[in-house]
Amino acid sequence: MIVSRLTCRALTSHLCAGRGWPRVEMTRPSSDLADFRKVFAKARHIAIITGAGVSAESGVPTFRGEGGYWRKWQAQDLATPSAFARSPSLVWEFYHYRRELMLTKNPNPAHTAIAECEARLAKQGRSVVVITQNIDELHHRAGSKHLMEIHGSLFKTRCTICGNVAANHKSPICPALEGKGAPDPKAEDARIPAEDLPRCEESGCNGLLRPHVVWFGETLDSDILTAVEQELEMCDLCLVVGTSSIVYPAAMFAPQVAARGVPVAEFNMEDTPATMNFRFHFEGPCGSTLPPALERHETEII
Ligand SMILES: [Zn+2]
């Protein structure tokens, strides 16, 4: 945790050290796809930061904002250590619902375009890394390999006793949660005893498991942050997709890259105050704007 705080400070100092930060440019970023494609053709290390907008186009709810409720709660009420301490049953019902819901959702053309681009460029000795705040594994399902899930995953668990992290795609995750988790505000809380909730399978442990996701009030994994920082230092093109560049985590990452003079392209439904700091901005659903941006360039021979 201390390392994590240091890393955050390191990122902040990078931002402050960046020449001209905050950069105020009065010209609008380009939305010229042909210009973007010239930059894309030359890029060797591409970092793609993705957020909730990409998932939203697959119909994945965030349980935040207007209308974003599960029963009478929003994510910020239940995705917290204190909510889990108070009622692990209720929090597990919420996550069980979200896991089961993902069985009905699929990657959209934005996920696919990113995964295809990574596979194609890898054959040319070029790299694509996806840095995502999404926990739904849709990038993984689309085929992305070089993936940093900075907020964890709905399909990983962590033991509250031994700390073991394990992939878990069981449906239901445990027998007691079968048929539970209905989002209806009138649904009864299942009040499942803790011993019947998901338990650690490491030998001799049997500790209570929790979702391996970063909850409100928790810090990001310091190893992942360090790895993200290395990728951002190395990238020569950065895409910010489906996330407002003023909202964490893109706010933390993309300006750092832009301050190095590296082109940043934003793909979003609307302008953000950070838009003016970037070289490119493409407005609209990323499932429409991203595939033509990332498709094979005529200069690619493989
Ligand atoms: Zn354990």
Q: Clarify whether residues 187 and 40 are in a common domain.
A: no
- Between 4 and 287, residue with greater pLDDT: 287
CA 99 to ligand 1 centroid distance, Å: 21
CA 199 to ligand 1 centroid distance, Å: 8
Question: Is 69 flagged in the annotation as binding?
Answer: yes
Tens digits of residue pLDDT in 73-83? 999 999 999 99
**How far is the C-alpha of 154 from the C-alpha of 96, rounded, in Å?**
9
Q: Clarify whether residues 238 and 112 are in a common domain.
A: yes
Question: Is 68 flagged in the annotation as binding?
Answer: yes
Do residues 89 and 191 lie in contact, with contact meaning Cβ atoms separated by under 8 Å?
A: yes
Question: Is 127 flagged in the annotation as binding?
Answer: no
Percentage with pLDDT > 90 across the chain: 80
Between vectors from CA 145 to CA 139 and to CA 150, what angle results, nearest 5°?
60
pLDDT score recorded for residue 258: 92
Q: Clarify whether residues 198 and 208 are in a common domain.
A: yes
The strands making up 209-213's β-sheet, listed across from edge to edge, are 165-167, 152-159, 209-213
Nearest to 93 by CA among 179, 167, 200: 179
CA 44 to ligand 1 centroid distance, Å: 41
Q: Clarify whether residues 207 and 174 are in a common domain.
A: yes
Question: Is 113 flagged in the annotation as binding?
Answer: no
Q: Where residue 167 sits, what CATH number does that domain have?
A: 3.30.1600.10
Q: Which amino acid is at 198?
A: P
**How far is the C-alpha of 165 from the C-alpha of 231, rounded, in Å?**
24
Q: Clarify whether residues 125 and 177 are in a common domain.
A: no
Do residues 80 and 271 lie in contact, with contact meaning Cβ atoms separated by under 8 Å?
A: no
Tens digits of residue pLDDT in 210-259? 999 999 999 999 999 999 999 999 999 999 999 876 667 678 899 889 99
Residues 6+ apart with CB under 8 A from 75: 62, 63, 64, 68, 216
> pLDDT-based confidence at 199, cuts 50/70/90?
very high
CA 163 to ligand 1 centroid distance, Å: 6
> pLDDT-based confidence at 9, cuts 50/70/90?
very low
Least confident range from 19-28, 34-43, 262-271: namely: 19-28
CA 83 to ligand 1 centroid distance, Å: 21
Mean pLDDT of 37-55: 97
List, by residue number, the catalytic residues: 151
Question: Is 143 flagged in the annotation as binding?
Answer: no
Do residues 282 and 265 lie in contact, with contact meaning Cβ atoms separated by under 8 Å?
A: yes
Mean pLDDT of 51-75: 94
Query: Going by DSSP bridges, is the β-strand pair 152-159/165-167 parallel, antiparallel, or unpaired?
Result: antiparallel
CA 196 to ligand 1 centroid distance, Å: 15
CA 148 to ligand 1 centroid distance, Å: 24
Q: Clarify whether residues 99 and 243 are in a common domain.
A: no
Percentage with pLDDT > 70 across the chain: 90
Least confident range from 4-13, 71-80, 108-117, 203-212: namely: 4-13
**Residue 1, pLDDT above cutoff 70:** no
By the CB criterion, residues less than 5 angstroms from ion ligand 1 are 159, 161-162, 164, 200, 202, 205, 207
pLDDT score recorded for residue 252: 80
- Between 246 and 112, residue with greater pLDDT: 112
Q: What tokens does 123 get? A: 């054959």
Q: Where residue 258 sits, what CATH number does that domain have?
A: 3.40.50.1220
- Domain final position from 213, 235, 262: 213
Question: Is 124 flagged in the annotation as binding?
Answer: no
- Domain final position from 196, 213, 230: 213
State if pTM tops 0.75: yes
| Alpha-carbon distances, residue 43 vs 124, 125, 151 (angstroms) | 11, 11, 27
Question: Is 182 flagged in the annotation as binding?
Answer: no
Containing structural domain, residue 278: 30-60+107-151+220-301
pLDDT score recorded for residue 273: 74
Nearest to 135 by CA among 159, 90, 93, 105: 105
Q: Clarify whether residues 176 and 295 are in a common domain.
A: no
- Domain final position from 175, 191, 213: 213
Tens digits of residue pLDDT in 268-300? 998 877 788 899 999 999 999 999 999 999 999
Question: Is 63 flagged in the annotation as binding?
Answer: yes
Do residues 240 and 269 lie in contact, with contact meaning Cβ atoms separated by under 8 Å?
A: no
Q: Clarify whether residues 65 and 180 are in a common domain.
A: yes
Domain assignment present for residue 199? The answer is yes
**How far is the C-alpha of 187 from the C-alpha of 142, rounded, in Å?**
34
Burial status of residue 102 (CB atoms within 10 A of its CB: 0-12, 13-18, 19 or more): buried
Mean pLDDT of 102-117: 98
CA 145 to ligand 1 centroid distance, Å: 28
**Residue 173, pLDDT above cutoff 70:** yes
Nearest to 267 by CA among 98, 36, 27: 36
Q: Clarify whether residues 267 and 131 are in a common domain.
A: yes
Q: Clarify whether residues 159 and 185 are in a common domain.
A: yes
**How far is the C-alpha of 234 from the C-alpha of 47, rounded, in Å?**
9
Mean pLDDT of 122-128: 98
- Between 67 and 93, residue with greater pLDDT: 93
Domains in the chain: how many in total?
Answer: 2
Q: Clarify whether residues 229 and 251 are in a common domain.
A: yes
pLDDT score recorded for residue 247: 66
Mean pLDDT of 159-171: 98
Q: Which amino acid is at 15?
A: L
